[in-house]
Structure 1
Amino acid sequence: MTPYFSQKISDYYFDNKWHLTSSFMQSFPRISLDIISTPIPGLADDRSWIRSGFGNITAASAFAHIRPQFPKVDWGSWIWAPFIPARRSLFVWRTIVGKLPTFDMNRLIGIQGPNRCPLCSAAEETMDHVLLNCPFSASIWADVFRWFLIDQPLPLDVGSMIRFSIHQKNSKQVGNLWKAGVVSLLWSLWSHRNNVIHKNFAPSRHLILKQVRVFLCEAANNFVLGTMANSVSDLLILNNISIAGQPRKPFSYIYVAWHLPPPSWIKVNTDGSVREGRIHAGGVFRNAFNDVLGCYHFSGGQGVAFEAELFAIIIAIESVHRAKWERVWFESDSSFVVQLLQSLSETIGGFFGFSS
């Protein structure tokens, strides 16, 4: 151990005063002033590991200090999931870091062999080509994109494909299925490429798409993938891949019984909603025999839910006046709109009833 490590602060600080050597103070005057102005509490002198919050050195903190530091990547946790086999996640990791033994990589290390893509025979094989840009592979990706209602061009390299997949905005269930689909398709394309080379398989789009569908179904049946969003797009996606949706559990249940209107009356049920900032409204007219007399739908500009519910009622009132119906029962799920219209019922006139 060097003399510097054997010295203690107490060698230079005693009698409540710093005693620095004259040579040190002449060589480092500014540092000496900082040291002299630093108060020392009345504690026992001890060594402290500055990379630990408590001053104690541990094997973990020492290893963290000496091991190489690499920047964090956004795909590190994305490729690993309980519903994805570890070897498939490891395969995706190898593709991202460019460690697949494609023909172009083999030539770099001196292995001679064919250089044409075994799936299309039209271009030189590279990792990005065989997994994405090959016409055979690109056509399969196009089908998977259609399953998930993605209307965007296919990324040109695997790294961009993974980043594109990470930033897709989906519900928990659809997002996990999309992750499983991307990993499964990359794995299936590479496995199929190997079978074409080593087992003389003929390239088959149908076989790869079937493998991806089977993997998605196994993931959905054996693991909890989260819940779907209350949206038409999620329903269409899940229907495309033949997987049952997992809706969110409601906070509470309210039992509602729908009743026919009285004889000679007409009942209209209205509803309004807001999606992506735009208001939508609709309604259905029925008579006492439960016959549908008509329905309507309206999409407007920017607004809030209350405005959408109010628009639904306003359009219904306009329809009633055009049809010259006299006894109409308006039913809405917005109590605020119903209270507003009940207060205006005398102004509206006619035999109208409002309920929620």
Structure 2
Amino acid sequence: MTSSRSQMIAGMLGFSAGTFPFSYLKCPIFKGTKINLWTDNWLGNSLLELLQIPLAIHNQLRAIVADIIADGALLLPAAALMGPTAPLLDSLVWLHSSNSKLTSKLALNFLKPAVVNLPWAAVIWKSCIPPAHSFILWCIMHGKIPTDENLRRRGCINVSICSFCLRTDESYEHLFLHCPFAKNIWLWLGGLLHTPFDILSFAALLGSIPQNCSSQIHDIHLAAVIHSLHGIWMARNSLRFTDQTASLHSTKVHILVAISFSGNISTGKCIVSDANILDALLVSPHNRRVSDILMVYWKAPLAPWIKLNTDGSLIGSHAACGGLFRDHRGSLLGAFVCNIGTSTVFYAEVYAFLLALEYAAQNGWRNVWLESDSTIALLVFKNRSLVLVLLHNGWHNVCNQGIQIISSHVFREGNCCAYFLANMGHTTQGNVWLSVLPQTIQTDFFLDRSGFPRSRLP
């Protein structure tokens, strides 16, 4: 960005040019008549920086972006930016904003970055688990539990030894995971719940809780971990500070009673195969009512409409997307997968819409019924300002292709084929068009075409 433009914007916003983070401003290409080809950061960085052009010739570089645009396309062989096919006004946008606007929230985040969210923090607090028990796990995960090791770090002088095994110093990893007393509890608990617990670390311990199970069983597993940690801590304190002796048997009994209590007041639901675990823990089954179970169908469109199902996938910070086109008979017209790279799930969902509509325009499909399981992403069809800045030009282009679009939401159970295609995108390079579906998706495709219902459990 030129110094004169920086001063102009600083004057408009009331900031001094020296303190205002101008590197966050970016110019998307529209007409390009007001964007300097060399000095403005329309590619994220200016060409002066990208090409390391000598300072001596900077004043001679006066070309604008419009000079290299012909018929809506950039005349740069290596350019990775899509220009609009219809004229748009040039505009300055905020680089790290989803809607191109600078807000006070973004300014605050720039000055004071947000605290990283811990994945376990929202999981350990449940209405069926006493907060005092969850607090023990919270202290452990933050390294704040007052074991001998932590007390020495705070300046307390003590002689440390494990109260259970009397073999080594007391650290919170040893006390809760590696001590023979703790190992016996985790082995007993794993046999009771038919789940082997990984006691290599506390993160691994929480990761041992099964995810693909009924909600009541998931609550029971979480409660079992938290109550066991609480039970070990209380047994340790009993040995340290009272005349009572906490045996392994009495600790197990207290843990079992607490698990049974949490399982009975859990609001989760169970399935028939959970009966053995629930009976062993003396927990009443919370069966689903038939009225709570939804039957989800994939519905074919009426001719001449084309049905388009898309989905986005995020593994870690790596995004991918996929989708498929079907006609009024449910026959496959084509499918696509795309490896996006580092991004967000919202970007992946919206990019799947954009890519799919581009494919529809290329194939001459002008009546498209788009279906997705992301209600948030579908809002871009009602409010175009929600489209991410980096997709503005592409979205503007597909909206001028003369495609009539109907958008609707479907549950994941009715979007299985697109879901599997999106996951497949993580193993591909770039965009891939498929004329034939992979063998792993053929069964779900046949079930959709046959009108076979899928059950969605609450």
Category of TM-score, reference length = shorter chain:
0.5 to 0.7
Q: Cα offset for 1:176?
A: 0.9
Map Cα deviations across residues 181-236 of structure 1 (whole Å, 9 max, x no partner): 11111122112222322224312223322332332233234341x222222xx211
Query: 1:291-330, aligned counterparts within 5 Å?
Result: none
Q: Quick one: structure 1 residues 48 and 27, their matched pair in 2 at CA, closer, same or farther if it must change by over 3 Å?
A: same
RMSD over aligned CA atoms reads: 4.0
Instruction: Say whether 1:240 aligns with 2:296.
Output: no
Letter in 2 for 1:117: C
1:65 alignment partner in structure 2: 110
178, 183, 190: which one aligns with 2:226: 183
Q: Cα offset for 1:71?
A: 5.7
1:116 alignment partner in structure 2: 161
1:220 alignment partner in structure 2: 263
Task: Answer whether contact 1:48 1:56 (CA < 8 A) is retained.
Answer: yes
Q: Identity rate of aligned residues, in percent?
A: 21
Q: Quick one: structure 1 residues 42 and 143, their matched pair in 2 at CA, closer, same or farther if it must change by over 3 Å?
A: closer
Query: 1:139-178, aligned counterparts within 5 Å?
Result: 139-150=184-195, 152=196, 154-165=198-209, 167=210, 169-178=212-221
Task: Answer whether contact 1:131 1:189 (CA < 8 A) is retained.
Answer: yes
1:134 alignment partner in structure 2: 179
Task: Answer whether contact 1:119 1:203 (CA < 8 A) is retained.
Answer: no
Q: Quick one: structure 1 residues 37 and 181, their matched pair in 2 at CA, closer, same or farther if it must change by over 3 Å?
A: same
Task: Answer whether contact 2:190 2:197 (CA < 8 A) is retained.
Answer: no
Q: Quick one: structure 1 residues 182 and 31, their matched pair in 2 at CA, closer, same or farther if it must change by over 3 Å?
A: farther
Q: Quick one: structure 1 residues 108 and 8, their matched pair in 2 at CA, closer, same or farther if it must change by over 3 Å?
A: closer
Letter in 1 for 2:141: I
Q: Cα offset for 1:19?
A: 10
CA distance in 2, matches of 1:105, 1:37: 64
> What count of residue pairs does the alignment treat as equivalent?
239
Q: Cα offset for 1:56?
A: 4.3
61, 65, 81: which one aligns with 1:34: 65
215, 227, 240: which one aligns with 1:197: 240
Q: Cα offset for 1:132?
A: 1.8
Task: Answer whether contact 1:18 1:36 (CA < 8 A) is retained.
Answer: no
Partner secondary structure for residue 232 of structure 2: helix
CA distance in 2, matches of 1:69, 1:49: 18
Q: Quick one: structure 1 residues 106 and 61, their matched pair in 2 at CA, closer, same or farther if it must change by over 3 Å?
A: same
CA distance in 2, matches of 1:243, 1:109: 43
* Larger CA deviation: 204-213 vs 26-35: 26-35
Q: Quick one: structure 1 residues 204 and 68, their matched pair in 2 at CA, closer, same or farther if it must change by over 3 Å?
A: farther
CA distance in 2, matches of 1:74, 1:8: 40
Partner secondary structure for residue 7 of structure 1: helix
Greater Rg by CA: 1
Q: Cα offset for 1:180?
A: 0.8
Q: Quick one: structure 1 residues 32 and 87, their matched pair in 2 at CA, closer, same or farther if it must change by over 3 Å?
A: farther
Q: Cα offset for 1:149?
A: 1.9
Query: 1:229-268, aligned counterparts within 5 Å?
Result: 229-231=271-273, 234-250=274-290
Q: Cα offset for 1:124?
A: 1.8
Query: 1:87-98, aligned counterparts within 5 Å?
Result: 87-98=132-143
**TM-score, with length taken from structure 2:** 0.44
CA distance in 2, matches of 1:116, 1:145: 27
Task: Answer whether contact 1:91 1:187 (CA < 8 A) is retained.
Answer: yes
CA distance in 1, matches of 2:35, 2:184: 79
Letter in 1 for 2:179: C
Instruction: Say whether 1:80 aligns with 2:125.
Output: yes
Letter in 1 for 2:7: S
Query: 1:95-106, aligned counterparts within 5 Å?
Result: 95-106=140-151
Unpaired segments ≥5 residues, structure 1: 10-15, 253-356
Q: Cα offset for 1:237?
A: 0.8
CA distance in 2, matches of 1:123, 1:244: 42
* Larger CA deviation: 110-119 vs 205-214: 205-214
2:389 alignment partner in structure 1: none
Q: Cα offset for 1:87?
A: 4.1
Higher relative contact order (CA 8 A, sep 6+): 2
Unpaired segments ≥5 residues, structure 2: 11-31, 40-54, 70-83, 293-458
CA distance in 1, matches of 2:201, 2:247: 22
**TM-score, with length taken from structure 1:** 0.55
CA distance in 2, matches of 1:116, 1:104: 10
